[in-house]
Amino acid sequence: MDCKNCQTKLQETAHFCLKCGQSTASLNRPFFVVAKDILHELLDIDGRLGFTLRTMLSKPGQLTLEFNQGKRVKYTPPLRLYLAISILFFILLSSIYQVYDPNYALTDSMSSYYSKAMFVLFPVFALIVQLFFRQSFYIGNLVFSMHLHSIIYLMLMIIAPLEALEQSHLIFLLLQAPPTLYLIWYVFSAFKTVYQQSWWRILGKASAIYLIYMSILGIVFDVVMKNIF
């Protein structure tokens, strides 16, 4: 067999590539086996993060595509990436609430609930994607979901402070447009790269996935609000 990352010839019994060090384990395994491997690496943020972020930001969907093709050793694992970025986002959100929101205690509590809810919901997004792209693997869709949510959090880290400041000057409202437009372009482009269907199919399916997912988010957040109040 060959290494998925560097194409070096390997023995059938090899667990790691002798050249690049990548594991030979396949993602096309039972979910709980893959989850165990991911959790084993969870807290080990390393030097791959910078390269991972550059690839994710500049090439929509490429990170997911390469990861699902087995080219994983040079990238930060998806769950680790998602957790690192989401934690930073909710810390930033809490800080913004503390400075700009007079009802800080209430909104901080909401932020805490939302962070937990989103951790449960990104696998739901992957399941919705699976319904529209039936030839794909759920684990691959889960990787795509983590990468997509990560980029959304990164853009929201830019948009959220500007939104908090928009009442003080119109310029802060206008400055939200570039990251918002970039995010819209990014999402459709990422779907196109990963699932490689025609643009019309991608636009239709991605839009439908968005509407379904946002409906679920609305229901979940409504439940969160009722629990808080």
Q: Note the pLDDT tens digit of each residue in 67-113.
A: 988 888 888 889 888 988 888 888 788 777 777 766 655 556 666 67
The Cα–Cα gap between 209 and 49 comes to 29
pTM of the shown model: 0.76
Give the residue, 123 or 21, on which the prediction is more confident. Answer: 123
Region of poorest pLDDT, from 11-15, 40-44, 194-198 = 40-44
Query: Is residue 214 exposed (0-12), middle (13-18) or buried (19+ Cβ within 10 Å)?
Result: exposed
Phi, psi of 39 (to 5 degrees): -65, -30
Instruction: Residue 82: name the closest of 112, 41, 110 by CA.
Output: 41
For tokens 């979910």, the residue is 31
Is residue 44 pLDDT above 60, yes or no?
Answer: no
For tokens 């880290």, the residue is 157
